[in-house]
Chain A
Amino acid sequence: MSVQPDWPLWEVFVRGKRGLNHVHVGSLHAADAEMALHSARDLYTRRNEGVSIWVVPAAEITASSPDEKDAFFAPSGDKVYRHPTFYDIPDEIPHI
């Protein structure tokens, strides 16, 4: 039996409730964007998990690197002075 090529892959992002960001929840296959949205609703929000959905063709996503941790993020690794805890402030100074 021949294997038919799949419909394209879409990544799904759901906003859980007003005030929150959309968060990646998974992926699905659909022929077009409208079908992807409907399928995402049926698949990822069967119990009121969302108020808004984004679907993005997986092939359109540009990702930082083939590895989840590498030199790409190194520039921020040695800049401790960007964090408030870097600075010594006497305890008696209020509200800082």
Chain B
Amino acid sequence: MAVTPETEFDELVASDKRVEPRDWMPDAYRKTMVRQIAQHAHSEIIGMQPEGEWIARAPSLRRKAILLAKVQDEAGHGLYLYSATETLGVDRADLTNRLITGAQKYSSIFNYPTLTFADVGVIGWLVDGAAICNQVPLCRSSYGPYARAMVRICKEESFHQRQGFELLLTMMRGSDAQRAMVQDATNRWWWPSLMMFGPPDDDSPNTAQSMKWRIKRHTNDELCQRFVDMTVPQADALGVTLPDPQLSWNESRGSYDFGAPDWDEFKRVVSGDGPCNAQRVAHRRAAHENGAWVRDAAATYAAKYSAAVA
């Protein structure tokens, strides 16, 4: 068989080597990578909002410093990922535009509100916990710049999850009212966290191609099961109940059985009809538009300064 760029690409990926930016790649691979990395970047950027709302209301200086560092990390993760997306030949300003016009999506989890400070802890524990399950295998993604960004991100996510769990432990050792807040936040975030793994395998048409291209290493069902198995003992240690009556240990599988999230709700939230979709995008758009004069001023200063030294 003749050696074509396509067969070379397939062999490279099949032998677990990394694809680098200037390699030939199928258009569909490039398109899929742009969509996946941009969507991930947008999720990090929008993900600053639910927790950012609690920075000024954090109950102590310690919690405020931690939360500020965490939200700053989310910004950093978004920027690592935009940087990786740009290696595929897309423009950063265009990506921002696609986010604030709704042309590209972000993770549906960030369209839920953060009602109490316990939500900050539960987001760290469950949402970041689910994100870690999803992201650790992406450190071996076939696309080099994405895999390298994920290595940095995963190193930092561990702090996010641990600070959340520690926050919840502290609240669970507090008053009855605090324990009730943790249980309430757990009830509200459990199902949306499971939805982060995406639809079940038999309803996930792109999985096979993504596995072949090694941009996905495990199916949605495998990752979700791993998350549940990891999380149940943590819930026990905390003393909270996960809101799933079907949750039970299955001795023969060596795993927990659990119920299915409301996939109709998932589809509604993804398509724009969640509790906070409009608010999240409007906030990002306002930040972008209100920052226009700063970007212009810096560009003008740079142009004048380089003209003066020339």
Residues on A lying within 8 angstroms of B by beta carbon are 1, 3-7, 9, 26-29, 31-32, 35, 42-43, 46-47, 63, 65-68
Contacts and interface: CB of A to CB of B under 8 A. Distances in A.
A67 B24 contact: yes
6 contacts: A1-B101, A9-B86, A31-B301, A46-B72, A46-B73, A67-B22
A43 B93 CA distance: 18
A26 B22 contact: no
Interface of B is mostly: helix
- Interface size range of chain B in the complex: 20 to 34
A27 B86 contact: yes
B45 to A, nearest CB: 13
B23 A68 contact: yes
Contacts, number: 61
B301 A3 contact: no
Contacts of A42: 76
A68 B83 contact: no
Given A66-B22, A68-B22, A28 B83 contact: yes
A66 B22 CA distance: 6
Interface stretch (B106-114, B243-251, B292-300): B292-300
Interface of A is mostly: loop
A76 B306 CA distance: 42
Contacts of B101: 1
Interface string B256-281: 00000000000000000000000000
A31 B22 CA distance: 26
Residue among B23, B72, B73, B92 having the largest count of chain A Cβ atoms under 10 Å: B92
Contacts of B296: 4
Contact of A67 (B23, B149, B156, B298): B23
B86 A4 contact: no
Contacts of A3: 91, 93-94, 97
Interface of B: 20, 22-24, 69, 72-73, 76, 79-80, 83-84, 86, 91-94, 97, 100-101, 148-149, 156, 292, 295-296, 298-299, 301-302, 305-306
Nearest to B296: A4
Nearest to A68: B20
A65 to B, nearest CB: 8
Residue among A7, A9, A26, A27 having the largest count of chain B Cβ atoms under 10 Å: A26
A81 B149 CA distance: 38
A1 B305 CA distance: 29
Nearest to A32: B302
B302 A46 contact: no
Given A32-B306, A67-B22, A4 B301 contact: no
Contacts of A7: 295, 298-299, 302
Nearest to B73: A46
B275 to A, nearest CB: 26
Contact of A31 (B76, B84, B97, B298): B298
A68 to B, nearest CB: 5
Contact of A35 (B69, B72, B292, B298): B298
Contacts of B91: 3, 6
Contacts of B292: 4
B79 A43 contact: yes
B95 to A, nearest CB: 10
Contacts of B149: 26
Contacts of B22: 63, 65-68
